[in-house]
Structure 1
Amino acid sequence: MTSASELKLSAVSPDIRRLPADAVVVAVAQDTEAPRLLNSPLAPQETAALEASLPLLGITGASDEVRRLPSTDSLKAGVLVLTGLGRLDGGAPSAEALRRAAGAAARQLSGVRKAVFALPAPTVEAAAAVAEGAALGAYAFTGHRAQAPEARQVPLAEAVVATAASAEKSLPAALKRAAVVGRRVRAVRDLVNTAPNLLYPESFAAAAREAAKPWPVKVTVLEEKQLEKEGYGGLIGVGRGSSRPPRLVKVDYSPARPVAHLALVGKGITFDTGGISLKPGLNMHLMKSDMAGAATVLQAVLAVAELGLPVRATAWLCLAENMPSGAATRPGDVLTMFGGKTVEVLNTDAEGRLVMADGLVAASREEPDAIIDVATLTGAQLVALGTRTAGIMGDDGLRDRVKAAADAAGEAAWPMPLPEELRATLDSPVADLANIGERHGGMMTAAVFLSEFVGEKAGRPIPWAHLDIAGPAYNEGAPYGYTPKNATGSTLRTLLALAEDFAGR
């Protein structure tokens, strides 16, 4: 199902003038006076001549600016690539600026086999950021092409990071982590980009089994008969309008002596028509991306397993296809969710919270130390925070911890409140609650609904956070930095950083 391309990562000392490569990538920073080269590996006279020529070439050093030039006599490379770092205001570039500059270059180096990244990376942390950016940028989805991609369309195959930290003992582990991050993000993108006639609950479950095979991970799949028997009313209710029945997939990594247990619940609506409350036809094809949360938590657990973190990580993939038919759930129906709570369905297009409710109850029964759910849940998220910033809601402590993890990972996310007055808008005259409430602040109302299904541990609510990634999960606009058009793989890096935080790393 997925075939994420592999990128070879390595590091060398900054003196790269005798190192053969197809391309050498050099950073350009914006400045108040004129753009300037940073950490140039060129001979001094070549650096001075090129820097003087930058304004004449129209090169500014702005973020996302990538320009190819003929190589110089001092380099054994076919082409010189200049990538913009943006304004630095006199300081060193941040890790995220390095990621984006390296990613923008790698994204535009399709058809190039080997590139040396001579960006300013004097430390292990900076070198890891360059490597991660290259790994995130080197991506192309070609799974549905009848013919093999042309050479110019094949992503960069090898990235070499030039760094003064090349001899540091911690660098190999940092490069391994960058490679894992890149591989797992690309695998999320592959799943989200896959056509919905090929990726549906059953085939998604099979893909999860296949992806987990190399790792010490147990995969359990609950099929429709078992879901119905055990009372997973949300999954059954959403999925019964489709000829392709729902699944609940549990992916569990449990090391010998875990220091914590994280449960990750992912929305996996493999296609969302809205059901009986049918969506408008315009752009409905984008609803193949409504399973991005499930793809993200799956690959996050596999990343934790691949890195061998001392944290138990369990993903719950809530998989269903929301279709209209004679068997579909109707507005006005009442569903009994897993655990017994009843929900009046007022709008069948508010289906993600129904499958997630089942997953949250199932995750709670294992009494983990924290539950984090990830979902492309509401259009209101885009209204509130735009297309690139995820919303984080939940218990204040865990919400803030997730925000810190997102900041460390370089992913845009913002904490949002859960106003107590929104709960009353979910009251139903015939059931425990309704699946929609106050229209204004809909992102927060949806989170309040989910909070009703989070359980307790030792008599206290399990710490819980909800990430609404409706905007960041799918890029309908032009590529930027290390982010391609279409599926982005957003939030996986945040989840991994959070697991590392729980692991004390």
Structure 2
Amino acid sequence: RAAALGRKYGLSVEVLDDIALEQQGYGGIIGVGKGSSRKPRLVRLAHTGAKDAKSVALVGKGITFDTGGISIKPAAGMDLMTSDMGGAAAVIATTIAAARLGVGVSVTATVPMAENMPSSTAQRPGDVLTQYGGKTIEVLNTDAEGRLILADAIVRALEDDPDYLIDTATLTGAQMVALGTRTPGVMGTREFRDLVAERSRAVGENGWAMPLPTELRADLSSRVADMANVTAHKYGGMLSAATYLKEFVPAGQAWVHVDIAGPAFNSGGPWGYTPKGGTGVPVRSLIAVIERIAETG
């Protein structure tokens, strides 16, 4: 669907299948997707803006269904995990919208897609994988899979040397604990984070800036790898997930992570202009930020 839509609206399209992902070292995407009969993909869609225009890299979590893997989720509410590709859908939609609107900014979506299933081929708690780019990760919880596929995609997106990087994901239940189901958490480099949060509120998507406390990094330490994929405690889970992603973003790169675990999918009744089901959050926020970058550079 992403490739077909990209071609329809004149975007350049690239799809890496599971064989290419394995050969090129995308250990996070392969690790998460290897338990499923539906093999993982990495999809890239690009809108080329005006000459010498700024560039924006978008990365979105595309877990097409999330059982939790071997660290399996409770049955109650698991049916809602069809929504775990909300970040992927949002960055695909945003890139298409940028092309249709003819924004001068160049926009590239790098979208990892996988199904997180338990099976005889699934990754196990305690396995060590190597992310794209070389960092080794001890997978303590296979249900903390979104950060594994996002990290691969972030490193790939940064190879294009973008001026700005935004990733978005239905990443943590902790987002809803901290901010409820209608308020995305916005984390990242301070100036860009504040711009994204302000633009999000201006278009009615209610993004709220959150900190990345430096002490959380130590809680991701591993005995056998460069990092573990989760901390040993439940505190600040949304911030810890973003801290994990921060490890793949070089100093000086303008970067924002938007956690949309609650806001991307409305499991209750309609409210305002928000329907039941997928809400489209944060497409309006992303387009608003891209248009601001086009105006101001």
**TM-score by structure 1 length?**
0.58
Return the letter of the residue paired with 2:265.
Answer: Y
Residue 410 of structure 1, CA deviation: 1.6
Match of 2:147 in 1: 353
User: Are 1:375 and 2:191 matched, yes or no?
Assistant: no
- Which of the numbers 101, 112, 123 marks the counterpart of 1:318? 112
**What 5-or-longer segments of structure 1 have no aligned partner?**
1-206
Return the letter of the residue paired with 1:311.
Answer: V
Question: Deviations for 1:105-136, whole angstroms, at most 9, x for unmatched residues?
Answer: xxxxxxxxxxxxxxxxxxxxxxxxxxxxxxxx
Structure 2 CA distance for aligned equivalents of residues 208 and 347 of structure 1: 29
Match of 1:439 in 2: 234
Structure 2 CA distance for aligned equivalents of residues 408 and 450 of structure 1: 26
**What 5-or-longer segments of structure 2 have no aligned partner?**
none
Structure 2 CA distance for aligned equivalents of residues 215 and 488 of structure 1: 22
Deviates more, 1:468-477 or 1:407-416: 407-416
Match of 1:248 in 2: 42
Residue 258 of structure 1, CA deviation: 4.6
Return the letter of the residue paired with 1:243.
Answer: S
Q: Is the contact between residue 3 and residue 43 of structure 2 (CA under 8 Å) also seen in structure 1? A: no
Structure 1 CA distance for aligned equivalents of residues 227 and 236 of structure 2: 18
Secondary structure class of the residue paired with 1:504: helix
Structure 2 CA distance for aligned equivalents of residues 476 and 244 of structure 1: 26
Deviates more, 1:301-310 or 1:249-258: 249-258
Q: Is the contact between residue 217 and residue 240 of structure 2 (CA under 8 Å) also seen in structure 1? A: yes
- Which of the numbers 450, 457, 460 marks the counterpart of 2:245? 450
- Counting aligned pairs with the same residue, the percent is 56
Return the letter of the residue paired with 1:454.
Answer: V
Question: Deviations for 1:48-85, whole angstroms, at most 9, x for unmatched residues?
Answer: xxxxxxxxxxxxxxxxxxxxxxxxxxxxxxxxxxxxxx
Structure 1 CA distance for aligned equivalents of residues 8 and 52 of structure 2: 20
Q: Is the contact between residue 40 and residue 114 of structure 2 (CA under 8 Å) also seen in structure 1? A: yes
Match of 1:327 in 2: 121
Secondary structure class of the residue paired with 1:503: helix
Residue 250 of structure 1, CA deviation: 0.5
Secondary structure class of the residue paired with 2:97: helix
Question: Deviations for 1:326-378, whole angstroms, at most 9, x for unmatched residues?
Answer: 10000000000000000000000000000000001001111100110000000
User: Are 1:463 and 2:257 matched, yes or no?
Assistant: no
Match of 1:491 in 2: 282
Return the letter of the residue paired with 2:271.
Answer: Y
Q: Which aligned pairs between 1:151-190 and structure 2 lie closer than 5 A?
A: none
Structure 1 CA distance for aligned equivalents of residues 158 and 50 of structure 2: 21
In terms of Rg, which structure is larger? 1
Structure 1 stretches (4+) deviating beyond 4 angstroms?
none
Q: In the comparison of the two structures, how many residue pairs are matched?
A: 295
Match of 1:220 in 2: 14
Structure 1 CA distance for aligned equivalents of residues 280 and 38 of structure 2: 25
Secondary structure class of the residue paired with 2:215: helix
Secondary structure class of the residue paired with 2:65: strand
Q: Is the contact between residue 258 and residue 311 of structure 1 (CA under 8 Å) also seen in structure 2? A: no
Return the letter of the residue paired with 1:429.
Answer: R
Residue 405 of structure 1, CA deviation: 1.3
Match of 2:4 in 1: 210
Pairwise CA RMSD: 1.0
Structure 1 CA distance for aligned equivalents of residues 262 and 49 of structure 2: 34
